[in-house]
Amino acid sequence: MSLTDATYLDYQATTRLANEAFDAMLPYLNAHFWNPHSAHKLGRAVAASVENARDNVAALMPPGGRVVFTSGATEALNLAIKGSMTPTSIIAVSAIEHAAVLDTADWLAGQGATVIRLPVTPDGLLDLAAAEQLLPDRIDLLAVMQVNNEIGTIQPVEALAEMAHARGGLFLCDAVQGYGRLPAPANADMVAISAHKIHGPKGIGALWVRDGVMLSPLIHGGGQEQGLRSGTLSPALTAGFGAAAKVALARMEDDARHVQHLWQLAIKHFSDWMINGSVEARYKGNLNIRRDGLDVARLMSEVRDVAFSAGSACASGSGRPSHVLRGIGLSDAQAKKLYPFGVGPLYDARRHHIGRRNVKRRRRGNFMITVNFISHDGETEKLVQAQVGDNLLKVAQAAGLPLEGTCEGQMACSTCHVIIDKLWFDKLPRASEDEEDMLDLASGARRTSRLSCQIDLTAELDGLVVHIPTESRSMQGV
């Protein structure tokens, strides 16, 4: 199996670079190589492209603020916390924040700051009433993420921002998992985001800062990025970030519907698994599940053609148990039975069936494979379990699908012809001349059409996608 054949279910860790972002980056990797901070005409030309990208990134944020480019969200969060706080500050964070927030807050605690960790409920949500009781009358900063990177829960960030402001503090939101997918928190003071979580390039992120909020720089030198981040900007990375943000804004509603569809498929197929975190207050591109008796490390080693995570990619090499799972009350033993799946706007639902099937097949330990039958209009699907060696026509007929096959496999009719998904067509044995002759007579035949009576299922066809080709064949009741 090549790497590109794997089913990728780790969209919380990173996303594929969008074509639009790739195309936007190319000129600045070659012909337009100039320094955007140079005063000459060529430098000013690429500087204009940087500002155009900045505007595209800012278009997904509230009005009345500015975008500061960084190397990623980790730097952005460090800039927000260290750049606004002092050793005498009072800082409050949720117990399930990203390590970039928790570790930075702990570093400041070592300098003398007071850090308050707010617990979450077993659903992974901050209890607003409990937070009101735990927070002192005055704080300097409250930091809570919009969408959790491990369990996908959506926090009531706007209410929390009001809580911080009522105590004279700033509100910082880690919106890495929500940016481009959900509306940005309108009343936050600082928002950290990352390009590669929205199909942009790795190596660039940003901190949105509300007008009037003053920060001290972490990096000193030439005074670039409004004096907050010295160093030469990469026009290629900013262009890719801006293009990805522009696409995310244009497709936000369509992407939300697509992700909701994937969520419904996932919870249907994993209906006997336990979901970690709130189901209602959740980004539906995240499915974090567990099952008693299964060990995540062992399953990952056995299901090598499905890429999913055992926790946050940012801490996967630390050896530390997940503080998020501990925060919602799970033991370390339960955490080892956890499987976080992440999908996104560019994720193909057909790959979902393949990945879901591979995980469940390894769990059962048998030789069953899955065939996905799709109606001619593409709107109705039926997943059918079959054994290796079964004939595709017999499998379809046993499942009640409208394939006649009246010639009993003798190729004297074409009533059993189907359209094989192009991802699978080349994996089938080549059609004989007799089969090709019958396909010439088939109504609605296409280049990837085959007679289902001539296809015997093999292990390599696990996940096969088959289209019922004509409108005269109904898939009612599927």
Q: Could you give the CA distance from residue 193 to residue 182 in angstroms, rounded to a whole number?
A: 12
Q: On the CB side of 398, how many CA atoms lie within 13 Å of its CA?
A: 12
Tokens of 338: 């956890």
Torsion region of 443: left, alpha or beta (phi above 0 gives left; psi -120 to 50 gives alpha): beta
Whether 407 is a known active-site residue: answer no
Catalytic residue among 173, 314, 407, 453: 314
Contact between 85 and 290 under an 8 Å Cβ cutoff? The reply is no
Distances in whole angstroms, Cα of residue 391 to Cα of each of 201, 428, 449, 454: 45, 13, 16, 7
Q: Could you give the CA distance from residue 222 to residue 304 in angstroms, rounded to a whole number?
A: 47
Q: What is the DSSP string of 61-78?
A: S-SSEEEEEESSHHHHHH
- Given the structure tokens 């591979």, which residue do they identify? 358
Helix, strand, coil percentages for the chain (3-state, nearest 5): 35, 20, 45
Sign of the torsion formed by the C-alpha atoms of 211, 216, 222 and 225: negative
Torsion region of 329: left, alpha or beta (phi above 0 gives left; psi -120 to 50 gives alpha): left
| H or E stretch covering 445 | none
What count of residues does the chain have? 478
| H or E stretch covering 129 | helix 128-134
Instruction: Give how far the C-alpha of residue 417 lies from the chain's centroid of Cα atoms, to the nearest Å.
Output: 37
User: Which residues are known catalytic residues?
Assistant: 314
